[in-house]
Amino acid sequence: VSIRHILEIDDLTPDELRDVLARSADPQPAQVLRGLGMALVFAKPSARTRNSTEMAVVQLGGHPVAIRADEVGLDTREPAEDVARTLACYHALIGARVFAHEQLERMAAVSPVPVVNLLSDDAHPLQAVADLLTMQAATGGLEGRTVAYVGDGNNVLRSLALAGAMVGAEVRMACPPGFHLSSADLDRIAAVGGDTTVYDRPEDAVVGADVIYTDVWASMGQEAEAEARRRAFEGFTIDDRLIAKASPNAVFLHCLPAHRGEEVAASVVDGPQSRVWEQAENRMHAARAALWWLMDQAAGAGGGEVS
C-alpha cells in the first residue's frame, strides 16, 4: 500500500474528505502522534497555517518542529528530496509551504512518511477543509449551497473550487480577464463532479449566493506585480453593494491576510456577515482532522500501531 499525501484536496476521495470533515468536530481525537513529531517547513511567511498546524499536532499528542526553508536550504543547501528523506528519519509527518508545487511532489515521491501541502503557488488544501467547515456551520450544510468567489484565480480558489465540487456545492468564480483558473483546472474540477460557473463580472456571480469569498490580489511571491494587479482588479472589491446582492443570510469568507480597501472593504470583513475568525479557528480543527486521518492511513499501510 502506498503512502498517502495531501498535496491537493482531490488527493482525497469525496468520501475521505467527508471523513476528515466529520473528524474535525471530534474534541477527543485519538493520540496518533504520541511520542512522534511533525516537521513544518516554511519558504513563505505564515500566521494561521504555522500556528494552527502546530497546535493540531499538540492536540494529537505530538511535537511540531517549525523550520524555515532557508535554514535547511530547500533545493539550495541540498535537494528537497534529501530534506524530505532526512526529516522522515525523525518525524511521522512532513508539512511544507513552498513556492513551486513540484517541490512538494518531489518530496512526496521519495518520502516514507506522508507529506502535507501547507500552501504552494498552486494549492492550499487544508485551507479548503477549513473553508468547508465554516460554510457548513454558517449555512447548515454543503450540498447545494452556493459559494461565489470574486478575485484572483489562485491557489486558494483552485483548492476551494475542487473541495466545493467534491461535496456538491455550486462554485461560481468571477475573475478579471487573464486571472481565471486555466481550462486544465476547470477539467480537474469537472472530474470530481463539479458544478462550476465562470463569470467576468462580480455582480453576476454573487446574486443569491450563500457564501461570498475573496483572497488577496497579489499572493506571496507576486509582490512586484501588486500595482499592476491593483489596476487589473478594479471593480472586484467585495463591498456592501456586492454583499447586498447575495442571499440575505450570506456570509463573507477570506482565508486572510486581508487587505482592507483592496479585495475587501473594511465594512465587510469587519461587518456582521463576516465569518473570517471562525474560519481562521477552523484551520486548526481541519489540520487536526487531516493529520489524524493521514496517520490512520499510514497505520493501515503497515506503519504499525500508532494509537
175 binds, among ligand CP, ligand NVA, none (CB under 5 to 8 A by kind): none
Residue with the CB atom nearest ligand NVA in the bound state? 219
Give backbone dihedrals phi and psi of 140, rounded to 5 degrees, phi first: 80, 10
Residue 129: CB minimum distance to ligand NVA, A: 14
Q: Where are the beta strands (DSSP E) in the chain?
A: 37-42, 63-68, 93-97, 115-117, 146-150, 170-174, 195-199, 211-214, 251-254
C-alpha closest to that of 91 among 73, 64, 110, 118: 64
154 binds ligand NVA (CB under 6 A): yes
Options 79-87, 149-157, 185-193, 271-279: segment touching ligand NVA (CB under 6 A): 149-157
Give backbone dihedrals phi and psi of 144, rounded to 5 degrees, phi first: 80, -5
CA distance 210 to 224: 34
Of 30, 186, 220, 299, the one binding ligand NVA by CB under 6 A: 220
Residue 123: CB minimum distance to ligand CP, A: 12
148 binds ligand NVA (CB under 6 A): no
Of 6, 21, 49, 250, the one binding ligand CP by CB under 6 A: 49
Of 216, 243, 251, 276, the one binding ligand NVA by CB under 6 A: 216
CA distance 254 to 131: 9
What is residue 7's three-state secondary structure? Answer: coil
219 binds ligand NVA (CB under 6 A): yes
Options 22-30, 45-53, 162-170, 284-292: segment touching ligand CP (CB under 6 A): 45-53
Options 46-54, 142-150, 195-203, 267-275: segment touching ligand CP (CB under 6 A): 46-54
C-alpha closest to that of 5 among 127, 171, 87, 118: 118
C-alpha distance from residue 231 to each of 13, 156, 186, 235 (Å): 39, 21, 26, 9
Q: Binding string to ligand NVA for residues 114 to 143, with x set by CB under 6 A, is what?
A: -----x------------------------
